[in-house]
Amino acid sequence: MFQIESCAQMASLPRNNPTRFYDLVTQVALIRPGQLRARWTSPYLKRRQGKEAVTYPHEFLIPVLKRTLGVPLFQEQLLKLAMICANFSGGERKSCGALWAATFQAAHAGDEIELRAGMKTNGIPDATQDQIVRFISSFALYGFPESHAASFALIAYASAF
């Protein structure tokens, strides 16, 4: 239960209004330092309630972000984002994992340059590139993989039941 009993979780649960298991998975992932710092919690909840339109920074991101209403909640989404938007390969995908861990500090400045070069090749505008870099760098403060959030959601559900 510890995953959903913090003040922030308790405050957002009624707004999220979970009606199926996957809603609990997103709830667990939603209240994490990375998502809070990037200010994704409020847009996700507003979109979930139908108070805000679901938008995507670029059409390339629709398959990656559709399930989470255009808001990146899981580490895998950031990796897929780099692969789709910047043509990263599987090996470069591993490097992308270091991107959020280092928050694009000097040691990984080359990775950001490579990411931006790939996005530029794909015709992604500079402003959208900035948003994608912000998506990735916010995970430096701790974001969950989807499987981790699903495991915690299952434990919380079973404990509550």
DSSP letter at 32 equals: S
> For residue 104, what pLDDT is reported?
41
* Three-state DSSP state, 38: coil
Residue owning tokens 């707004």: 15
Please count the other Cβ atoms lying within 10 Å of the Cβ belonging to residue 59. 8
Residue 158: how many other CB atoms lie within 10 Å: 9
Listed in sequence order, the DSSP H helices in 7-140 are 7-16, 21-30, 33-37, 41-48, 62-65, 75-86, 90-102, 109-121, 126-138
Q: How far apart are CA 103 and CA 106, in angstroms?
A: 9
Return d(Cα 143, Cα 2) in angstroms, integer: 17
Beta bridge partners of 144: 74
Q: What are the extents of the domains in the chain?
A: 7-160
User: Per residue of the chain (161 residues), what is the pLDDT tens digit?
Assistant: 666 778 888 888 888 899 999 999 999 988 877 677 777 888 999 999 999 999 998 888 899 999 999 988 888 888 888 788 887 766 554 555 555 444 444 445 567 788 888 889 989 999 998 888 877 777 655 677 899 999 999 998 898 88
Q: Are 84 and 71 in contact (CB under 8 A)?
A: no
Q: For position 103, what pLDDT does the model report? A: 41
pLDDT of residue 107: 42
